[in-house]
Amino acid sequence: MQSHIDTLVQVLGFKGIDGDVKLRLLPTKWPNNNLPPPTANLFAVSSAKGLIAAAGPDMLVLASTESVRKAYSANGVAEDGVKPLTPEISIPLPQRVAQVAFTAQGSYLVLAAEQGGGLAVYNTQDLIQGNRNPAFLIRTNGVAVRSLIPNPAPDFEHAVAVVLDQGQLMIANLQDKQLQKSQNNSEILTDRVSCVSWSTKGKALIAGLADGTAVQLMATGSIMATIPRPPQLQGTQFSESQAVSLICFNTHTL
């Protein structure tokens, strides 16, 4: 069964917009000998704001989804089969980033540095109006960020789950411009985290841990429950370098 799935994955593909035509969004390519880490997420879309954000090795660019559609439909194709696109906003980056994410309503754009972590939080409206500086910064104790998971609910747009490279889970509260504290006054809510998922209503989240157990937390950071791992699961299923997996949180009350 697994070999069949692997075969399907190898042949799975999606037809590009306007055939095989591509757009050049970044002014500088990532060097082949110094690519981003495998857990990096360098592209984000805000449907609410109609914006696309992408990070290159030295530049952050933002383009409207309308300009992207127009670029695809424009006449003429570059010699290499790539159509040009001039982003509306270009921001030089002082260091490489590993994570790019919009919040649920697109009010904030959050970046995480590749080395040393930390969150740079931009007010999207300020960016549109020409302010290229972060609204504020949030430190992550000098540890790089493996994943940013914004809360999907508009009412809790200010809450962003942060998984560090070493598996610690934090929640950045963008309203308070700081990390959420737990009941014991710690910024680390739980550790050995492999994956995280918010509930649909955004009031809670669940974190899958290295040993197969799961921890359910409120958006405030308090732990609600611990879910035991499947009895047939053996050993620890975690690596600091692995990509974050997806777990589902299916509840109508949270």
Whether 240 maps to a domain, the answer reads: no
CATH number, domain containing residue 9:
2.130.10.10
CA distance 206 to 219: 10
Whether 233 maps to a domain, the answer reads: no
Lowest-confidence pick of 24-38, 91-105, 142-156, 167-181: 24-38
Whether 150 maps to a domain, the answer reads: yes
Average pLDDT of span 10-27: 67
Domain count, the chain: 1
Binning pLDDT at 50, 70 and 90, where does residue 251 land?
very low
Whether 164 maps to a domain, the answer reads: yes
Binning pLDDT at 50, 70 and 90, where does residue 211 land?
confident
Whether 44 maps to a domain, the answer reads: yes
Domain that holds residue 113: 2-227
Strands (E), 22-155: 22-24, 43-46, 51-55, 59-64, 82-84, 89-92, 97-102, 108-113, 119-123, 136-138, 145-150
Whether 200 maps to a domain, the answer reads: yes
What is the reported pTM?
0.84
Q: What is the pLDDT at residue 246?
A: 40
CA distance 159 to 152: 9
pLDDT surpasses 60 at 230: yes
**pLDDT tens digits for range 66-83:** 998 888 877 766 667 788
Average pLDDT of span 223-248: 60
Whether 126 maps to a domain, the answer reads: yes
Whether 119 maps to a domain, the answer reads: yes
